[in-house]
Amino acid sequence: MQKQKLPTYDMQALADYGLDGIDPSGAVLLRYERGEWFLLEGQEIEYLYILLSGKAKVFMSDAGGRSLLLCYYISEGILGDVELMMGRHEAISSVQALTPLTCIGFPVATYAQALLNHLPFVLRVGQGLALKLHQSVANTTEIILRPFEARFCGYLLLSAQNGVFTERLTDVSEQLGVSYRHLLRSLKTLCEEKLLEKQADGYHILDEATLRKKAAG
């Protein structure tokens, strides 16, 4: 993670989130590389994050310690807002950068009360939480109703970097809620259909258009 003083050209992003009335002198610009974690379930939250660019995966664990993929945040949104509104100091989910990611960080210890007292920001957070609730219902419906192949093809397309899927398969099977054997069978089928090709550095996407059709279900 790289941290620097917040550049003046990012001030517009603060206005978009109802933060133009908040003194930004204590905020920082944070940059994460692919694979870095910036929220860990159960650990103390250092920042409220305003995402500017990149993709991040969001997970939550069950009682047995298994992780379930909840959703992707793409290029925008707030992280840490649920915990802020609940008055919690520990993260309720884990977040990992899927691509290089840039965000604005407001130190929670310094800014929590000011943020909660700033009505434009609270209204913006309320809108965001309503959207997250809608997405959560949609994600649950998708898991229940959509075939695994469609969900997996969508996951492949979102997580591949430069056309190559390189994620650990044991993690993927856990996050998508299927057995490792089932996941391997699905990959083998996609390779036999010439949509993917297994190489030393991962699975290369050969036919993105057909994968997108399968992802659409």
105's tokens? 């960080």
Tens-level pLDDT at each residue, the chain (217 residues): 999 998 887 788 898 899 988 999 999 999 999 889 989 999 999 999 999 999 888 888 776 677 777 776 666 789 999 999 999 999 999 999 988 999 999 999 999 999 999 999 999 999 989 988 887 777 667 666 788 898 899 889 888 888 999 988 998 888 888 899 999 999 999 999 999 999 999 999 999 999 999 988 7
CATH number of the domain that residue 160 is part of: 1.10.10.10
Residues 127 and 20 in one domain: yes
Number of domains in the chain: 2
Domain boundary among 125, 143, 161: 143
DSSP readout, the chain?
A: -EEEEPPGGGHHHHHHTT-TTS-GGG-EEEEE-TT-EEE-BTSBP-EEEEEEESEEEEEEE-TTS-EEEEEEEES-EEESHHHHHHT-SBBSSEEEESS-EEEEEEEHHHHHHHHHT-HHHHHHHHHHHHHHHHHHHHHHHHHHHS-HHHHHHHHHHHH-BTTEE---HHHHHHHHTS-HHHHHHHHHHHHHTTSEEEETTEEEES-HHHHHHHHT-
Average pLDDT, the chain: 89
Residues 103 and 204 in one domain: no
pTM, 2 dp:
0.78
Residues 65 and 139 in one domain: yes
Backbone torsions φ then ψ of 55, nearest 5 degrees? -125, 145
Which residues make beta-bridge pairs with 32? 101
24's tokens? 């930004």
Question: Could you tell me the strand order of the sheet in which 202-205 lies?
Answer: 164-165, 202-205, 196-199
DSSP readout, 53-98?
A: ESEEEEEEE-TTS-EEEEEEEES-EEESHHHHHHT-SBBSSEEEES
CA distance 202 to 25: 43
Q: Which domain holds residue 117?
A: 2-143
Residues 34 and 117 in one domain: yes
Domain boundary among 104, 124, 143: 143
Residues 133 and 185 in one domain: no
Residues 51 and 138 in one domain: yes
